[in-house]
Amino acid sequence: MGFVVCNESFRKRFETIWFDDLLDKIINEGNTEEFYFVSATNQLAWNFKLSFAERYFSEQNKPLVNFTISNLEGLVKRVFEATKPKNVGKVLSDSYRFLIFKEAFDRAKLQFFRQANEQVSLYVIRWLSQIIFGLKEDGITIDNFEKEIQRVDERLVNLPKFLDTKSLFEEYQTILQESNLFDIVDAINYSSNWLNDYFEKEAKTNRKIHLPFFDRNKTFLFFGFYDFKIPEIRFIGSISRYENPIAIFLDFDAENGPLFGNYVELIENLKKYGLYAFEVENENAETNVNFLKKYLFNNLSGKTKPELAEKIRICAVENRYKEAKQIAKLCKYLIAIKKYKPSEICITTKAPESYASLFREVFQEVGVPVNITERFRLNSSPLVLSILSALDVVAKGFRFKDIRKVLLSFYFRFLKKSEWDGQEEIDKENFLDVVTKMKGLGGEEFGGKEYWLRRFKTRLQVIDDRISFLKATPYPDQMELANLEKERKQVQRAKEDFEVLLNYFDFDSKEITVEQFYDIILNKIIKRFGVLKVLESVVENLLDSLQEYEKYDKIAKIEEVEKDSRALSKFFGLLEEFTLLTTIRYKDKKFSLKELLELFKVVIFEERFQISRKPSYGVTITTIEQTRGIPYKVMILCGAIDGDIPRKYSTEKFLGKELGKSEKRHFENERLEFFFFLTNNQKLFNQNERLTYIFYPKRDAKREFIPSPFLFSLFDLFPERKDEIFFDLTKPIVFENTDQMEWLNVIASTVERNLVSLNQEETQSSKQFYDDINSIYFKKNEVNYLLENKLTDETFQFFSGLTSKPISVTFLEDYNKCPYRFFVDRILRLERPPVEMELFLTNREKGEILHIIVSNFFKKLAEETYQNGNYEFIIDLGNKKYVPVKLQPEKKDEYFELISRITYDILQKFNTEISLFSIDTEEFISTEPGRIGLVQLWLNYELKRTKWGYYPCFFELSFGMNYQDSLSPVDIDLDGQNKISLRGKIDRIDVFKNGDNFDLLIIDYKLIESEVTTINDCLRGIAFQMPFYAIAFMKLFGEKGYDSPIVSLLYQIFKFRKDNKRKNEDSTFNYVKLFVNSESSIRLYFNIKKDEATKDDFLGWIEVTKLNALDILKKIKEKRDFPVKPFRSKNVCKYCQYKNICKIEVI
């Protein structure tokens, strides 16, 4: 069985009894109050107490009372609290300990880890903190550390690192001593010393000394451990000197090889403190467990045990997402078919952060409850992040990035009046949109809140001036006027809302005490911003709607709410500790809000929180360490890849010295964890009745994975059966001799059932198969289309009417870019997060600015041409009359002066009032000698292009748009039976008139050449804009009595740079052809042969494009087909806001 390590008192009272037998004795006699149980982990303590209480009630027929159990740290803290000096507080939490270490890092004189004035990442500091704390746990003190440095040998890798580590160690201990604070290791050492001193003192007058602070007969039982740190051994040794019985139960066999090397050393260290070690004999030495102990990692003799393979299966999968999906399917099969209870199944991992969210999703999909013992990082809680961002707003001078986080927070409500009920909130979306376009930065360097008031005032003035200017002209641009009026209302509303925000953020940021910091968070943020009311309303809404959810969905919803409450509770606990200890350390010292906030962020950085455990509920998902001593009937290990199992050991990276002994201990512990996973529930494992599944992913989005080397050690125990237990689920599997793998062939969710139904004829046998499956699994709907399972009648009506109103070509192109994104964005209409603000002008903004500049330039010239009557022809489309603009190269200076004024007027809209704006301005019109701006380059090309003989005539011609001078939508017949109503805006149309015949160039502006599309793109159904604009204009043109024109389609590139590879570049300038009609006058400039691109070719191409559009409309309206199949996924997915929903990176 193992070893019992005990003191003389335990040996006299209980002799060499094993732990299980002692438990039977305790329960039979019912004297639980005499015992103090000490478990290896909190999880083990929790499960042990539950199982013990059940057994006790079953035996004694009364509830369990006076039962004491904790982990070792809990026992230490109890002793420390009873023995500490009066001026010492409680043992530091890990979070506050990290703050102390951060202060030590800032104070220490370092040469390697921090250069002069360098900002070091908290992650690096955390690693260093763990190294120092690990050294303390290994029993190394400052004095010992000095001896290590003086004893430099070949294992010293980096002396500067080592010296910095010593300096950090010294500074950390100095701060603890100055502040009279204790971390857990210091508390252990203090308690050990106090107990030893007390014993020595009492031993002078008393032969039998019992532990103070405990009952005289209290017996201490340690179980579930396979290692102790050096200070912990000293502490146990100090307790063992007393008359109170103490015993440590170790599952260890001295003859079982190197796997338990740590145990040998551990027992020897415990014996140094006067403890006795007794081996409890195992009745059957030839068990599966003992075989693994001897040969799992030491099989040089080639020993094998084929029967071990009977209940072990190892599976390779494509990636972590599919790994989670397969495990969920397996668990559902085990529960529904094999009748295992969910609580009898455990999924373990060494990388919980990679799997927790995946398991929550896939298990909810298959309808299996889970109990995930996940510890969430407090600094990732949305609620906590919102509170910190609110503090950042004032502490850092009202930066836009902080205001944005606050406004996007679900937990805050900013009302235009102070009363909560029925009051209007500020328009967050409008504010963010306005400020993003204004490129406002904020912050202390720009003047804080005064900066924003000035920016809003300036922006309103710019808009008013522009409106006044337009209204003073004879023919103002109605579209621009409407946009300016709309923008003015938006800016005015944003200004008023910002003034409301200022009332909420009225707390002091300069000189405050720690108590005032506490008050700001509690009263001026959490209460004033409505956090508690929001959480209350969430709970009320959840209670009202719980009946709408299925059983396991209810629990998931409750967990979501609990997560916020637990995070807030942990946050308050840390805030109280921070306030108390910082006040003790600094008395009434005053800080700036920014200083206190940065200190508090360090405290939060290291903290985690956990939602409540659910006893006997669901499949347990936890780490391997937390399964120790808790028996399960099915053990599933996921993520069995090298680097996780075993974990890498890299102390030298920060310490600068190899610690061979520590590294050896690390790998021995890693081996032990794998052994304990395999042998969990030893009774069933020895009987070959415990199921074991091991999964590993082959890759993720960035790299290939290597299977854990521990798997190869396992294969060596039954090499002839490797093919029977290993399954590569990325390849087709022949289902023969696949015991324990039947679950691969079943349907575990509505999703899978619907997918199979869509692709399989329903024969009588298949119908029986589905009936059987449905009798076992949850049958939610009769409809065999996955999407329709969730659609309401209103949604069906929405689909039917989706294309009845005028649509844009973007509607069609968005579907082809990614059908799934189209579905989420245009049909589900999920709210998009506001666009992140770019410091410089984005390409999209540059393109928009250039569009406006050149259009206003031509409109101004067209207006002058119409007024002076100097035009060759006029075209009337009904909404207004259009005249051609004939550029004259000799007027270049006059044109440049005009377009420069227009450019500077337009750029005022984007002026960010920071020096970087001048860089953007220079890109449009350069004042630097030898450099030419985009506007200057465009004008040069336009003047050279006048020899083509085409005159710009239509600029931003809109149809179906909500503008005063917009033309009506254009109906387009797609196939004789179906039609669409089209809306849009054509950038520009140039006209060449020969008698009554018109030769048209439909031009679309692009910033860069990579944005253009080709005829092949149109034929493939990827692009629709240019061909549909051609159809629309030809119809508008014909409806006004004009003959059918010759049409060519071109792109004009603003950021055009010469390319020696392009043919005829000198004649085509900054134009790229999409389609040039062979009858067009410009065909010679583009080397188009006479019969190369005829009107019939053009019309045939148009017909294909219309059929492509019809196909998309049918997929949307009738088939409701929205797969995750993005076109050119690298481009489409790179900036997609829905990647986390579709999971394309892991599918």
- Whole-model pTM above 0.85? no
Q: In the structure encoding, which two tokens stand for residue 774, read together? A: 């449905």
State residue 1142's pLDDT score: 73
Query: Per-residue pLDDT for 757 more than 60?
Result: no
State residue 772's pLDDT score: 44
Q: Residue holding tokens 């009845």?
A: 804
Residue 120 CA to residue 122 CA, distance in Å, equals: 6
Q: Let me know if residue 298 belongs to a domain.
A: no
SS3 label, residue 767: helix
Q: What is the pLDDT of residues 868-879, one digit of tens each?
A: 888 889 999 887
Query: Per-residue pLDDT for 917 more than 80?
Result: no
- 631 shares a domain with 592: no
State residue 833's pLDDT score: 65
- 246 shares a domain with 166: no
Task: Work out the number of other CB atoms within 10 angstroms of the CB of residue 86.
Answer: 4
State residue 613's pLDDT score: 72
Q: How wide is the angle at C-alpha 462 spanned by C-alphas 457 and 464, nearest 5°?
A: 95
- 484 shares a domain with 562: no
What is the full DSSP assignment across 1054-1099?
SS----TTSTTHHHHTTEEEEE--TTSTTGGGGT--TTTS-HHHHH
Q: Let me know if residue 584 belongs to a domain.
A: yes
- 941 shares a domain with 898: yes
State residue 526's pLDDT score: 93
Please say which residue of 165, 181, 197 terminates a domain.
181
State residue 649's pLDDT score: 66
Q: In the structure encoding, which two tokens stand for residue 832, read together? A: 């998009």
- 1103 shares a domain with 983: yes
User: What is the chain's Cα-based Rg?
Assistant: 38
β partners of residue 699? 704
Residue 32 CA to residue 269 CA, distance in Å, equals: 30
State residue 778's pLDDT score: 34
Q: What are phi and psi of 113, to 5 degrees?
A: -75, -15
% of the chain residues with pLDDT over 70: 85
- 558 shares a domain with 430: no
Q: What is the pLDDT of residues 68-112, one digit of tens each?
A: 999 999 999 999 999 988 878 778 988 999 999 999 999 998 888
Query: Per-residue pLDDT for 164 more than 70?
Result: yes
Q: What is the pLDDT of residues 34-45, one digit of tens each?
A: 999 999 988 889
- 854 shares a domain with 975: yes
Q: What is the pLDDT of residues 56-76, one digit of tens each?
A: 999 989 999 889 999 999 999
State residue 77's pLDDT score: 94
| Domain encompassing residue 588 | 507-612
State residue 1085's pLDDT score: 87
Q: How wide is the angle at C-alpha 207 spanned by C-alphas 201 and 209, nearest 5°?
A: 65
Three-class HEC string of 968-981: CCEEEECCCCCEEE
Q: In the structure encoding, which two tokens stand for residue 130, read together? A: 């763990």
- 167 shares a domain with 43: no
State residue 655's pLDDT score: 55
> Best-predicted range by mean pLDDT among 649-663, 848-862, 1131-1145?
848-862
Q: Let me know if residue 151 belongs to a domain.
A: yes
CATH of the domain at 624: 3.40.50.300
Q: Give residue 760's pLDDT band: very low, low, confident or very high (50, 70, 90).
A: very low
β partners of residue 430? none
238-242, 409-413, 697-701, 1028-1032: which range is least confident on average? 697-701
Helix 551-586 × helix 352-366 angle, to 10°: 150
β partners of residue 35? 219
State residue 776's pLDDT score: 39
Compute the average pLDDT of residues 780-794: 45
> Best-predicted range by mean pLDDT among 345-359, 436-450, 568-582?
568-582
Higher-confidence residue of 801 and 966: namely: 966
Q: What is the pLDDT of residues 608-634, one digit of tens each?
A: 888 877 777 789 998 888 888 788 999
Q: Give residue 767's pLDDT band: very low, low, confident or very high (50, 70, 90).
A: very low
Q: Give residue 344's pLDDT band: very low, low, confident or very high (50, 70, 90).
A: very high
Q: In the structure encoding, which two tokens stand for residue 467, read together? A: 């409106």
Q: What is the pLDDT of residues 440-463, one digit of tens each?
A: 888 888 888 899 999 899 889 888
Q: In the structure encoding, which two tokens stand for residue 415, read together? A: 């009302």
Please say which residue of 483, 504, 525 terminates a domain.
504
State residue 592's pLDDT score: 92
Q: Let me know if residue 239 belongs to a domain.
A: yes
Q: Let me know if residue 379 belongs to a domain.
A: no
Compute the average pLDDT of residues 1094-1123: 86
Query: Per-residue pLDDT for 546 more than 90?
Result: no
- 899 shares a domain with 1025: yes
CATH of the domain at 145: 1.10.10
Q: Give residue 1060's pLDDT band: very low, low, confident or very high (50, 70, 90).
A: very low
Query: Per-residue pLDDT for 951 more than 90?
Result: yes
Contact indicator for 412, 532 with CB cutoff of 8 Å: no
Q: DSSP assignment, residue 1129? A: H
Nearby residues of 270 by Cβ (< 8 Å), 6 or more positions away: 5, 228, 233, 236, 237, 248, 277
State residue 291's pLDDT score: 84
State residue 134's pLDDT score: 86
- 197 shares a domain with 170: no
Query: Per-residue pLDDT for 420 more than 60?
Result: no
**Which value, to the nearest 10 degrees, does the dihedral of the CA atoms of residues 344, 347, 352, 356 take?**
-80
Query: Per-residue pLDDT for 1133 more than 90?
Result: no
Higher-confidence residue of 1140 and 233: namely: 233
Q: What is the pLDDT of residues 651-702, one digit of tens each?
A: 544 454 555 566 677 787 888 889 889 988 888 998 889 999 999 999 887 7
- 195 shares a domain with 163: no
Contact indicator for 646, 711 with CB cutoff of 8 Å: no
Q: In the structure encoding, which two tokens stand for residue 743, read together? A: 């679950």
Query: Per-residue pLDDT for 763 more than 60?
Result: no
Compute the average pLDDT of residues 795-814: 77
CATH of the domain at 256: 3.40.50
Q: How wide is the angle at C-alpha 1080 spanned by C-alphas 1074 and 1084, nearest 5°?
A: 80
Compute the average pLDDT of residues 186-196: 95
Q: Give the H or E element holding residue 935.
A: helix 934-944
State residue 764's pLDDT score: 45
318-322, 742-746, 861-865, 981-985: which range is least confident on average? 742-746
Tally the domains of the chain.
8
Q: Give residue 137's pLDDT band: very low, low, confident or very high (50, 70, 90).
A: confident
Residue type, position 151, single letter: R
Q: Let me know if residue 237 belongs to a domain.
A: yes
Please say which residue of 144, 160, 181 terminates a domain.
181
Residue 90 CA to residue 943 CA, distance in Å, equals: 81
Helix, strand, coil shares of the chain, percent, nearest 5, are 55, 10, 35
Residue 10 CA to residue 5 CA, distance in Å, equals: 9
Q: Give residue 797's pLDDT band: very low, low, confident or very high (50, 70, 90).
A: low
Query: Per-residue pLDDT for 793 more than 50?
Result: yes
SS3 label, residue 526: helix
Q: Let me know if residue 911 belongs to a domain.
A: yes
Q: Give residue 1064's pLDDT band: very low, low, confident or very high (50, 70, 90).
A: low
Q: Which of 6, 13, 18, 4 is nearest to 682 (CA)?
A: 18
Higher-confidence residue of 652 and 172: namely: 172
State residue 224's pLDDT score: 87
- 919 shares a domain with 1016: yes
Q: In the structure encoding, which two tokens stand for residue 458, read together? A: 């300036």
Mean pLDDT, the chain, whole residue set: 83
State residue 238's pLDDT score: 95
State residue 661's pLDDT score: 60
Q: DSSP assignment, residue 760? A: S
Q: Let me know if residue 53 belongs to a domain.
A: yes
Residue 886 CA to residue 871 CA, distance in Å, equals: 8
Residue 1113 CA to residue 802 CA, distance in Å, equals: 9
